[in-house]
Amino acid sequence: MSIADLIAWAEAGIAETLASPWQIVAIIASAIAVTLVVVSSFVKTMIPLRWLAVGGNVGFVIYGALHPSIAMLVLNAALLPINIVRAVQMVRLTRRVRAATKHRDGTGIWLKPYMVRTKRKAGEVLFEKGDQADHLYFLAEGKIELVEIGASVEPGTMFGAIAFFAPDKKRTLTARCVTKCTVLTIDESTLKQLYYQNPQFGFELMAQVASGLTADKHRLEQQLAQPENAAPDTATQSLPAPNAPASPQASSGQGSR
């Protein structure tokens, strides 16, 4: 086929396309879809990327239906609901994070849709001191004890986040179920995906870690302050009262033996 034949074939195809309004709509839809796909290649955050993908899928579905192109129609019709669901999930997560930040919600309840619910028996150990940090936890029901410090985790509390950001990623405490517990968990891979996909989620997660570190600081200050407050009382109790008679043991010296 010569160049002249190719040009004639192209002109005939364009003329045929322009003669049909539906074909014009198909060409415009495909052009918009291609533009959206190209723009999405330069987007760094997940939510705009998902919505651009949705727009591209819609454009290619219209083109595939009107041109027609069965393969393009089926492929983009299958991808369209997936991208819509993922985009809606990320938007909802962003709203939950904003609400949590606005109302100072430190429970981490906005993470629940991405967590896996498990039932734990009384006495079961979730993790021990020195274990590798691979999950984040949310206590829905029951009571959990942090063994080394004797503190309790109450329902509605997220815990186990600090170890994710420790240099060695090791657990610093042992968590044991005091009663039957319902625990929600999220693995490290999912947590990192949410962290990188949604910057606001990352800020809220940092707030959770900072809150835990602040609580640890206050607890340590209280523990250090207790011996100082107790020392004067002990010393006062050990001094004999003025003009008080010596005890028989003190006078005989038997008490020091």
Determine the Cα–Cα distance for residues 247 and 249; give it in Å rounded to an integer: 5
Stretch 168-195: mean pLDDT: 88
Longest C-alpha distance within the chain, in Å?
129
Q: Which architecture characterizes domain 109-213 according to CATH?
A: Sandwich (2.60)
Q: How would residue 199 be classed by pLDDT, with cut points 50, 70 and 90?
A: low
Distance CA 98, CA 172 (A): 30
CA distance 217 to 165: 17
Condensed to tens digits (0 to 9), the pLDDT of residues 74-104 reads: 999 999 999 999 889 888 877 776 665 565 5
Of the spans 23-27, 48-52, 217-221, which averages the highest pLDDT? 48-52
List strands edge to edge, sheet with 144-146.
125-127, 175-177, 144-146, 151-153
Mean pLDDT value across residues 112-125: 88
What is the per-residue pLDDT across 126-156, written as a single tens digit (0 to 9) for each? 999 999 988 889 898 999 999 888 888 888 8
Q: Where are the domains of the chain?
A: 13-102, 109-213
Q: Is 68 left (phi over 0), alpha (psi -120 to 50) or beta?
A: beta
Q: What's the confidence (pLDDT) of residue 220? A: 76
Give me the pLDDT at residue 38, please.
92
Residue 161 has pLDDT above 70, yes or no: yes
